[in-house]
Chain A
């Protein structure tokens, strides 16, 4: 993998403060991050450029999460999609989302380290 600082990361969460938190967290490590407050905007951004990581909140208004996930997968198969949620989701749904191409899963509230573990090691 190329220089990790050039990683393209997208945060998708309807809670603006969560997005801000991601931006702040990842800026500590020198990552540049974009964010979207809904699925539609996320898809628009994903069409403009190829992201390495997308952190996708599962319960959001607008189009349903699994559709967003499907579309992102169609746009780019190399993007790793990490599902985040504040709800407890059952293993059935989790498996389904994995089958649809989710690579990982984060249950709110999570720690900075949980996120860092998912990203490639810094130099």
Chain B
């Protein structure tokens, strides 16, 4: 490694020569020897020595202290003063230039060497520290997330550029703000409570969403990640990492709106299918009843009349049962979430469909385990189950088969699976079946089953809103299993809506 070069500024030629010889003897090359303050500044500028040994009293218009000040302002070169004076005022002036040490005349070799070595060491450590600080400063100040530090009172102590940008203030202006001026009045209570609990060492959720108020008064949705800001063991404030999620919340709301519109159209389509099925059933019943009445009116055999009227009575009962089932189904509809028994919901759907299934040679097998109740929108869940059951029927339309409905689960989640022995879904289609308007069905009468392509996508939307998911497994020609997975007893998710 190259030895550090030293500049000597000393107006006494003999002293200067002697220092130079000593330094060279100790192995430190001397870059040059000057006798005036101006020359020292010039030399430092030109040759960039690694250290300056500076006599305070020098020739020329400026003394050593002034020369040192000028050099320090030009470059990070450590200065060691050489002095015979111990005048207090001079010492005070010298201190202000942050020297790396003082060497008193007459100079002793030992003192010279140790002072120089200490100065180099200190300078090296300081450079590393500076470099580190620079690195962290860069990381924090230029970070893509907003970073704030506030004190116990909630006054902002530090803001990086991103945080200032989020709030529409300059970094300087941010330091005059506090929680109160940065948080929406409706959220301030929550935020202050979190803040208080945190600085008092109570455990609080570290991540939450709040509405922030910008300088121009507009509202932004901010996701916060907060932690204690400590000095040693003492909490002296909080540190906050902030992300603006307004756009994604808006997009989410748009998606929800769209989904609810989709859900509505699917529901209408579902009701249409259901109504069509029931109308068909009723027309058959009316045909049988009317037909047998006509026959009874015309036949001459009394035993035929009796038999025909029995048919009429039994079909009137059948019609009444369909109406009753329909009422059971519709009475469960409501828009709010209530605790519900999954098996009961499935039964209410099966009431309407099971009879129909028998005609198609479809056997329905129930495997209902006892599971906890779940908080759901009953009407919506019925729609999902109706969709699953109708899909299973459609898959087994031409050849019949078995629909196995299984309900199982634990305290965390409930799995409801619908397994049919139908035609199955091709692998390449499986990935797309949850897409809106994607359907494998066709228009009725063409030998296919009608479909809107909305059923599953709407069901998926509903299940997702219940924080659950739908899984599907299928084998072409063997059958399909749809599994609706719903969480149990999860805390009600906090609903965020954009308020003007």
In the complex, whether B194 has a CB less than 8 A from a CB of chain A is no
Q: Render B265-290 as a binary contact track against A, CB cut-off 8 A, 1 for contact.
A: 00000000000100111111011101
Q: Are A62 and B398 in contact, with the CB atoms below 8 A?
A: yes
Contact of B400 among A24, A61, A107 (CB under 8 A): A61
Residues of B within 8 A of A62 (CB): 398
**Cβ of A59: which chain B residues have Cβ within 8 Å of it?**
280
Q: Does A21 contact B295, Cβ atoms closer than 8 Å?
A: yes
Whether B315 and A24, one on each chain, are in contact in the complex, defined by CB atoms closer than 8 angstroms, is no
Q: Is A88 touching B295 in the complex (CB atoms < 8 A)?
A: no
In this complex, the interface size class of chain A, counting residues with CB under 8 Å from chain B, is 20 to 34
Q: Are B288 and A15 in contact (CB under 8 A)?
A: yes
Does any Cβ of A come within 8 Å of B299's Cβ?
yes
Q: Is B291 an interface residue (CB 8 A)?
A: yes
**Chain B residues with CB under 8 A of A89:** 445
B404 CB within 8 Å of chain A = no
**B397 in the interface, Cβ–Cβ < 8 Å?**
yes
Instruction: Indicate if the CB atoms of A14 and B359 lie closer than 8 Å.
Output: yes
- Residues of B within 8 Å of A22, CB to CB, are 291
**Are the C-beta atoms of A86 and B284 separated by less than 8 Å?**
yes
Shortest beta-carbon distance from B310 to chain A in Å: 11
Whole-angstrom distance from the CB of A71 to the nearest CB of chain B? 13
Question: Number of residues in B with C-beta < 8 Å to the partner?
Answer: 31
In the complex, what distance in Å separates the CA atom of A5 from the CA atom of B421? 46
Look across to chain B and name the residue whose beta carbon is closest to the beta carbon of A93: B445
User: Are A87 and B280 closer than 8 Å at their CB atoms?
Assistant: yes
B292 within 8 A of A: yes
Q: Considering the complex, which residues of chain A in the window 99-113 have a beta carbon less than 8 Å from any beta carbon of chain B?
A: 107-112
User: Max chain A CB contacts within 10 Å: which of B279, B280, B291, B398?
Assistant: B291
State the CA gap A85–B294 with chains docked (Å).
19
| Measured CA separation A89–B446 after assembly (Å) | 13
Query: How many A-B residue pairs lie within 8 Å, measured between CB atoms?
Result: 82
Instruction: Give the distance in Å from the alpha carbon of A56 to the alpha carbon of B243 in the complex.
Output: 67
Q: Given the known A-B contacts A24-B295, A63-B398, are A17 and B288 also in contact in the complex, defined by CB atoms under 8 Å? A: yes
CA distance A109 to B286 in the complex (A): 6
Q: Judge whether B28 is part of the interface by a CB distance below 8 angstroms.
A: no
A114 to chain B, nearest CB (A): 11
CB distance from B119 to the nearest CB of A (A): 98
A111 to chain B, nearest CB (A): 7
Q: B355-389: which have CB < 8 Å to A?
A: 359-361
Which residues of chain B are within 8 angstroms of A61 by Cβ–Cβ distance?
A: 359-361, 397-398, 400
Subset of 26 A-B contacts with CB under 8 Å:
A15-B284, A17-B315, A18-B288, A18-B291, A21-B287, A21-B292, A24-B295, A25-B291, A25-B294, A25-B295, A28-B295, A28-B298, A61-B360, A61-B400, A62-B398, A66-B446, A86-B279, A86-B282, A93-B445, A107-B283, A108-B283, A108-B286, A108-B287, A109-B287, A109-B290, A112-B298
Q: A-contacting residues of B (Cβ < 8 Å)?
A: 276, 279-284, 286-288, 290-292, 294-295, 298-299, 304, 308, 311, 315, 359-361, 397-398, 400, 444-447
